[in-house]
């Protein structure tokens, strides 16, 4: 594979953030310590630690964390000797106060995340993160839902605010390889900063999509060990590293150690198999935010509905991240229609 960039690849492991959704945000101190230590020893570049919905996400709406995320950030930062600690921040959920506290506890990278059409709300957080001396990346979520021109426009806004890179974020796991190629290429040709890619595996193409992104010039790459991430998980880190090694691409990350920690450290944490099941497949098919899965399944049980019907309707309404409260509303409406025989 011929890469369209001379910059080195930089990997961010998201199992301790995106994986929080799978764990119902119940990560223990012991689990975070063990995972961060093993990842650091394997040579991982960045390890993202926070609530699944980013800093400040521990709420009734998004799900309460077992342990305060600041404590988990502190634990991860304390055990890592070479890996850098990253956090995610969604303006409107996380605050500048949260960001300052995370920085004080050892976080050195923040990804400021917005819906793909709402980059303008990231200006304050990007600016302050730069003032704090952090690496700052823009994170355009639900990137499949916007045309290329809009994606470029929004990425340029983040660049103008001071972001040092912008991610194409396939939050729904709905993108296909040709769409990844088009969008990554457009950003590479339009920005003077790095381009990243964050995939979900709901349609079983996360590794393929990530390879396309790398080929087109993305240098910031996300993965989740053992697919520990929302929906069917993200690009499986150890699998991607094995493929890149077969292709002769150096990453500086120890493949055997990653395979071992996937089996021995992350595996025992999983509440269930991270395979593509009907719920995650429906999300990729309908283009629905991957963290909605558990919420939709719970609503389905509560209202006696097939969770797939809820997810498909959310996709039709173009629901975005942060609208978890809409799931109950949709489920109640569908249940009423069923009762009325509509």
Q: Supply the residues annotated as catalytic.
A: 21
3-state secondary structure of 48: strand
Dmax (CA) for the chain in angstroms is: 61
17 is in an annotated binding site: yes
Tokens of 207: 């590794």
Tokens of 119: 């980059």
If you ran DSSP here, which 8-state letter would residue 59 be given?
Answer: B
289 is in an annotated binding site: yes
45 is in an annotated binding site: no
3-state secondary structure of 106: coil
272 to 22, 34, 107, 292: CA distances (angstroms):
9, 19, 30, 17
Q: How far apart are CA 5 and CA 75, in angstroms?
A: 35
Cross-strand pairs, 237: none
Tokens of 176: 């296909």
Picking from 290, 326, 324, the residue whose alpha carbon sits closest to that of residue 61 is: 324
CB 277 within 8 A of CB 232: yes
170 is in an annotated binding site: no
33 is in an annotated binding site: no
Tokens of 104: 């004080």
CB neighbourhood size of 341 (10 A): 5
Helix, strand, coil distribution of the chain in percent, nearest 5: 50, 15, 35
**Residues contacting residue 258 through CB under 8 Å, at least 6 positions apart:** 42, 44, 225, 237, 238, 241
Tokens of 132: 């704090």
115 is in an annotated binding site: no
Alpha-carbon radius of gyration of the chain: 19
> Which residues line the annotated binding site for Mn(2+)?
18, 198, 200
> Which residues line the annotated binding site for substrate?
17-18, 171, 198, 289
> Which residues line the annotated binding site?
17-18, 171, 198, 200, 289
């Amino acid at each position: 594979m011929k890469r369209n960039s001379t910059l080195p690849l930089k990997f961010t492991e998201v199992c301790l953030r995106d994986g929080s959704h799978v764990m119902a945000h119940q990560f223990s101190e012991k689990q975070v310590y063990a995972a961060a230590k093993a990842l650091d020893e394997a040579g991982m570049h960045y390890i993202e630690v926070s609530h699944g919905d980013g800093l400040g996400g521990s709420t009734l709406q998004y799900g309460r964390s077992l342990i305060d995320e600041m404590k988990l950030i502190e634990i991860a930062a304390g055990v890592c000797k070479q890996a850098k600690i990253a956090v995610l921040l969604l303006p409107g959920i996380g605050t500048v106060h949260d960001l300052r506290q995370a920085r004080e506890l050892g976080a050195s990278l923040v990804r400021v995340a917005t819906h793909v059409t709402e980059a303008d709300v990231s200006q304050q957080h990007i600016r302050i993160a730069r003032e704090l001396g952090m690496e700052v990346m823009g994170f355009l979520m639900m990137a499949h839902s916007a045309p290329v021109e809009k994606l470029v426009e929004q990425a340029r806004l983040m660049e103008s605010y001071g972001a040092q890179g912008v991610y194409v974020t396939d939050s729904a796991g709905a993108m296909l390889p040709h769409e990844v190629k088009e969008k990554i290429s457009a950003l590479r040709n339009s920005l003077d900063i790095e381009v990243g890619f964050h995939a979900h595996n709901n349609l079983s193409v996360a590794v393929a999509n990530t390879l396309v992104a790398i080929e087109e010039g993305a240098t910031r790459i996300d993965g989740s060990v053992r697919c520990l991430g929302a929906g069917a998980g993200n690009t499986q880190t150890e699998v991607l590293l094995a493929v890149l090694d077969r292709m002769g691409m150096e990453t500086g990350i120890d493949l055997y150690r990653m395979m071992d920690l996937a089996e021995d450290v992350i595996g025992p944490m999983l509440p269930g198999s991270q395979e593509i099941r009907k719920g995650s497949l429906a999300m990729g098919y309908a283009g629905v935010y991957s963290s909605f899965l558990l919420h939709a399944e719970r609503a389905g049980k509560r209202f006696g509905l097939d969770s797939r019907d809820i997810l498909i309707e959310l996709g039709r309404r173009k629901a975005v991240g942060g609208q978890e409260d809409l799931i109950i509303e949709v489920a109640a409406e569908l249940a009423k229609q069923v009762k009325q025989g509509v």
